[in-house]
């Protein structure tokens, strides 16, 4: 008899599967398994993978090293999605092959923007007053 799954158990499972997918994609890109000139000439970080609750969709957040040629890297990943989906399905044990969606990870840009704001003279002046 199967026990009823709790929301906590489900979210841990989503995180675990997402991390497995992230690891597999990172390994594929690192080893150069994708025969694509753009991907071969760029180091790409898979920063996060978010799985849908049914595990049928994976949103993959990517960041090229130093943020260079982000659009070209995203385009190359999207052109090779079918191959990457097959590899993930083969290496990560899931009931269904997840559909992969690649998007740029903007969190680094947001962090550096906040950092610049905090260091600006205007904000520093307000902080000194307290």
Go through the domains of the chain in sequence order and give each one's CATH number: 7-128 (3.30.300.20)
* Sign of the CA dihedral running 67, 55, 99, 25: positive
pLDDT value for 54: 92
Q: Is 80 exceeded by the pLDDT of residue 86?
A: yes
Q: What pTM did the predictor assign?
A: 0.75
* More confident site: 52 or 4: 52
Region 59-72: mean pLDDT is 89
Residues 6+ apart with CB under 8 A from 123: 117
Q: Is 60 exceeded by the pLDDT of residue 3?
A: no
Separation of alpha carbons 67 and 43, rounded Å: 10
Residue by residue, what is the 3-state secondary structure of 57-90? EEEEEEEEHHHCCHHHHHHHHHHCHHHHHHHHHH
Region 81-90: mean pLDDT is 94
Q: Tens of pLDDT along 30-54?
A: 999 999 999 999 999 999 999 999 9
Q: Is 60 exceeded by the pLDDT of residue 97?
A: yes
Neighbours of 93 (CB within 10 A): 8
Reported as a pLDDT band with limits 50, 70 and 90, residue 1 is very low
Do residues 76 and 41 touch, judged by C-beta distance below 8 A?
A: no
């Amino acid at each position: 008899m199967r026990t009823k799954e709790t929301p906590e158990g489900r979210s841990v499972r989503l995180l675990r599967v997402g991390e497995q997918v992230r690891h597999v994609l990172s390994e594929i890109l690192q080893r150069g398994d994708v025969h694509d000139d753009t991907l071969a000439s760029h180091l790409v970080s898979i920063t996060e993978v978010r799985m849908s609750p049914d595990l049928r969709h994976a949103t993959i957040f990517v960041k090229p090293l130093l943020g260079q040629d982000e659009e070209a890297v995203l385009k190359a990943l999207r052109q090779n999605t079918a191959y990457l989906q097959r590899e993930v399905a083969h290496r990560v044990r899931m009931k269904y092959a997840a559909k992969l969606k690649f998007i740029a990870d903007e969190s680094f840009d947001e962090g550096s923007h906040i950092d610049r704001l905090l260091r600006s003279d205007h904000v520093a002046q307000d902080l000194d007053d307290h």
